[in-house]
Homo-oligomer: A and B are copies of this chain.
């Protein structure tokens, strides 16, 4: 491996000069500059980022802890974060907490050990203990999608209040009175918030909590459909539980929306292709990822970014039935 020493020797200058040239300092004269650059070129020299980081205490690397990478929503977020980071010359180390608080804590520690310049976390649960560690070390932190109580750092998330109100209204207009909710975990902010906001819609709710994953969607749908007084519509509070619900509906040969209406929180490219197309609350997923990365980058740059709330919106497609003139 060729080092800065080799380059210095080859160019007949000191390592300091090579470093100055490579870092675009004002000092070196044009003549030495070209000589150094020639040596760099000839030897195919590339600076060791580790050594540099050790010295400068900057890694130009972001840590991203995702609560569940299987979830296309979070996969999309991860992609957007990577994109925005790349645009600013940063790399991203991606960590998957698999909705486990312990795994998340482990990963956060690992990323801190690696001296990432900042941390982007989609908290798996409300447990806030890990945050102290991050703040102790003064590592810039931004929360994404979910928040946790007592977090003093910037939070970037979607605002689904209006969309959920609209959804409740649309369901009501379509003649639904009693709907089954496949809710997220009660120990996540999004799990609680979506349920609560939807509950304000005045519908009679039957609630089963899932864990934001496919299987729980299947189980929750089954439980709701087995109810003696079966709800006329189901609302799944994330796309994976929505997928599970759809599978269960298909398994039971129930027609949507004739037998049961369905709506899902978080849109996916394939929802419009179903028959009928699925009515959803669409989140500005990519923009959330980008905004979060930008906030973190700003924090790293010493600025004080505000919280970001991106509004989700209802997309009515047909899986909840038609609005009846009467209702």
Contact = CB atoms under 8 A, between A and B. Distances in A.
Given A92-B93, A92-B94, A79 B83 contact: no
A261 to B, nearest CB: 16
A99 interface: no
18 contacts: A46-B112, A48-B115, A51-B54, A61-B93, A69-B79, A86-B96, A91-B93, A91-B110, A91-B111, A91-B114, A93-B93, A94-B94, A214-B269, A243-B269, A247-B272, A247-B273, A274-B275, A275-B275
Contacts of A159: none
A49 B78 CA distance: 24
Contact of A113 (B49, B75, B93, B246): B49
Interface string A269-284: 1101111000000000
Contacts of A272: 247, 250
A70 interface: yes
A125 to B, nearest CB: 19
B70 A136 contact: no
B273 A46 contact: no
A175 to B, nearest CB: 24
A82 interface: yes
A46 B113 contact: yes
A28 interface: no
Interface in A61-120: 61, 69-70, 72, 75, 78-79, 82-83, 86, 91-96, 109-115
A162 interface: no
B247 A114 contact: no
A14 interface: no
A53 interface: yes
Contact of A83 (B49, B50, B96): B96
Nearest to A136: B44
Given A49-B113, A72-B72, A93-B93, 12 more contacts: A46-B109, A46-B112, A48-B113, A61-B114, A69-B82, A75-B75, A78-B94, A83-B96, A86-B96, A247-B272, A247-B273, A273-B274
